[in-house]
Each structure stands twice: as C-alpha cells, then as structure tokens.
C-alpha cells in the first residue's frame, strides 16, 4: 500500500457525505501505514467494522495523546480535523456528537468518549493483543503502577505544564525568568500600555507558580527515573505516553526546557520517549498543511 500522502478528490461514501461540510481535512490511517488522506481512492472495502474515528486537531494535547496511543497499538483510525479557530466545532453536525463542543471526540463502534485518558485505557484494553502490548502492563501489579502515574500526570503535571506554556506565549522572549517574580520585568515593559503591562505581570506570576509546582514534581520524577527507565517500571507504558504532549511543549521553548534538561534522569527519559515512532508520527500530523492542500 502507498505510504505517502495523496490529496485527490474523494469518492462519495456515507462517511464522506456525513462530514463533507464539517471538516477541512480527513485522514485515514491504516495498520502499519503513515497517515493517508481520506481523499485517496479507497481500497476494496473490508468486511470488518469501520475504523476508529477521532474528531479534533492533532495539535491539541488531548487529541495528540490519543493519536500516539492508536499508533502504538497499530489501530486503524480516521482523523477528522475539527478546527476550533474557524468555528467548525460549533457546527450542528459536530454538536450532535459532542454537545459541549470539546476539543476531542472518539468513536469506536457504539462507544463514544471525550476524555483522553479514558480513551487511552479503552484502546489499551480493547486492542491489547495487537501492536505494542506493554502499554497497560501484563498484570494487576503493573497496571496499578501505571494507574498511579496516569493520575499523577492528570492531577499534578497537566495543569502546571499547560499554564507554563500558556504564560510563555505572553512573556517577552528577552525577559529574565530567574525567579525574581514581577521585579524581574525588563525595562522594555515601561513602554507598554497599562493593560499590556498588567497582562505581562499576570503571566509572569503564572509562570513562577507553574515553575515551582513543576520543579517539585520533576524532582520526584528524577528520583523515580534514577531507579527505573520509565515511570511505571522497565517498559514504556501509558504512564509515559500520557506525558508526551505537554512535555513536548515544555521542551519546545528554551525557557521551559531547562526544567527537564537540568535533571539528568528526566532528560534521558524524555530523549527516549520523544523518539518513539508513535510520537514522531503524531508530530508529522501536527505540521501545517502544505500550500497546495485543497482547502
């Protein structure tokens, strides 16, 4: 099967008809293949059920988390891109599936889920006998450890890491983020209008708060990763996978990357997990569409 991307006009199918006005681009991903545009001439239809469907943008942390899991488990799926910035997610067709207009909707047969970590568990359980088989552990003891770290990620890592990335989007790149708080505002802020300066001060406070929270948490990670190669033990699992989206964002800005780089074990762990083929493929899906894309 062709492993490249194609952008030819799709044949009319019930799925295409249903979402033609909903999404600017739809991708079908088959086992062992790279993402293929749903616009490709379809292969002979399978007798098996329709593939899993994921509604959302691959740049969303929630969606990226699910896509990485699907790639790990070698699950055929269709990605229906929902562009919240252009209002697509508010269209009536989408709201029938997702009444609250959330960033992610996952369909697998008659199962519809909207929370990424629940989706990870569903995928790992239902497709346990295919793809990478250690995502959820072979037994109750391993699974208990994975669950503990999944909860840690959701309750202690997710919010401060997202807050840090959010705050950095507003802070001047030349600002000295050295822990001095608002007193660290650069002289350039003196030329800002009051509203802008107030926003920068608020974001600096948010940055400092998230840095303190993440620093304490990553110290725990550093100790743990000095004992084991991965968070839940000796193998890559959902415990590590769930961290990928936000950790990738932290690593993408030098001002936040130092939190991981300054901790030897955390840095080594990140270098390993970020090279997983599943995450590399998610990053490919996150790239902006080419200029010749038909939308």
Write the pLDDT tens digit of every residue in 37-70.
Answer: 343 444 434 434 678 999 999 999 999 999 999 9
Residue whose pair of structure tokens reads 């379809």 in the numeric block: 42
Nearest to 142 by CA among 238, 220, 232: 232
**Predicted pLDDT of residue 177:** 79
Report the C-alpha gap between 91 and 217 in whole angstroms: 40
pLDDT band at 18 (very low <50, low <70, confident <90, very high): very low
Domain boundaries, the chain: 14-133, 140-276
Q: Is the pLDDT of residue 147 over 70?
A: yes
Q: How much is the pTM?
A: 0.77
Same fold, 14-133 and 140-276: no
Q: What is the pLDDT of residues 96-141, one digit of tens each?
A: 444 444 589 999 999 999 999 999 999 999 999 999 999 999 999 9
Instruction: Tell me which of 25 and 122 has the higher pLDDT.
Output: 122
- What is the rounded average pLDDT of the residues 83-105? 52
**Predicted pLDDT of residue 22:** 40
**Predicted pLDDT of residue 188:** 52
HEC sequence for 33-74: CCCEECCCCCCCCCCCCCCEEEECCCCCHHHHHHHHHHHHCC
Q: Is the pLDDT of residue 252 over 60?
A: yes
Burial level of 26, CB count in 10 A (0-12/13-18/19+)? buried
pLDDT band at 292 (very low <50, low <70, confident <90, very high): very low
Instruction: Tell me which of 178 and 144 has the higher pLDDT.
Output: 144
Q: What is the pLDDT of residues 170-229, one digit of tens each?
A: 998 877 776 544 445 555 555 678 888 889 899 999 999 999 999 999 999 999 999 999
CATH superfamily of 14-133: Glutaredoxin (3.40.30.10)
Instruction: Tell me which of 169 and 33 has the higher pLDDT.
Output: 169
Residue whose pair of structure tokens reads 């929270």 in the numeric block: 213
Is domain 140-276 in CATH 1.20.1050.10, yes or no?
yes
Mode of pairing for the β-strands spanning 111-113 and 105-108: antiparallel
Q: Is the pLDDT of residue 88 over 70?
A: no
238 three-class SS: helix
Region for 233 from its dihedrals, namely left if φ exceeds 0, alpha if ψ lies in -120 to 50, beta otherwise? left
Q: What is the pLDDT of residues 278-289, one digit of tens each?
A: 999 999 999 986
The whole-chain average pLDDT of the chain stands at 80
**Predicted pLDDT of residue 185:** 58
């Amino acid at each position: 099967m062709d492993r490249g991307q194609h952008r030819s006009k799709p044949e009319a199918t019930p799925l295409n008809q249903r979402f033609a006005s909903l999404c600017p681009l739809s991708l079908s991903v088959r086992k062992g293949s790279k993402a293929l545009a749903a616009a490709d001439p379809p292969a002979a239809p399978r007798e098996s059920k329709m593939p899993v469907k994921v509604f959302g943008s691959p740049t969303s942390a929630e969606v990226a988390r699910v896509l990485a899991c699907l790639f790990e488990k070698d699950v055929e799926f269709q990605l229906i891109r929902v562009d919240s910035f252009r209002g697509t997610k508010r269209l009536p067709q989408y709201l029938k599936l997702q009444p609250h207009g959330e960033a992610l909707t996952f369909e697998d047969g008659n199962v519809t889920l909207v929370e990424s970590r629940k989706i990870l568990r569903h995928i790992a359980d239902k497709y346990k006998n295919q793809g990478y088989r250690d995502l959820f552990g072979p037994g109750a003891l391993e699974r208990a450890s994975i669950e503990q770290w999944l909860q840690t990620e959701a309750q202690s890592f997710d919010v401060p890491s997202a807050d840090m990335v959010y705050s950095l989007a507003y802070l001047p790149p030349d600002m000295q983020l050295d822990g001095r708080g608002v007193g660290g505002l650069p002289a350039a802020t003196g030329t800002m209008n009051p509203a802008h300066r107030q926003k920068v001060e608020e974001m600096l406070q948010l940055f400092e708060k998230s840095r303190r929270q993440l620093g304490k948490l990553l110290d725990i990670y550093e100790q743990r990763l000095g004992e084991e190669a991965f968070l839940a033990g000796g193998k890559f699992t959902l415990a590590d996978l769930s961290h990928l989206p936000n950790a990738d964002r932290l690593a993408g800005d030098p001002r936040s990357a130092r939190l991981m780089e300054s901790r030897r074990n955390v840095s080594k762990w990140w270098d390993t997990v970020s090279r997983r083929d599943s995450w590399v493929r998610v990053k490919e899906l996150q790239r902006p569409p080419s200029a010749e894309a038909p939308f």
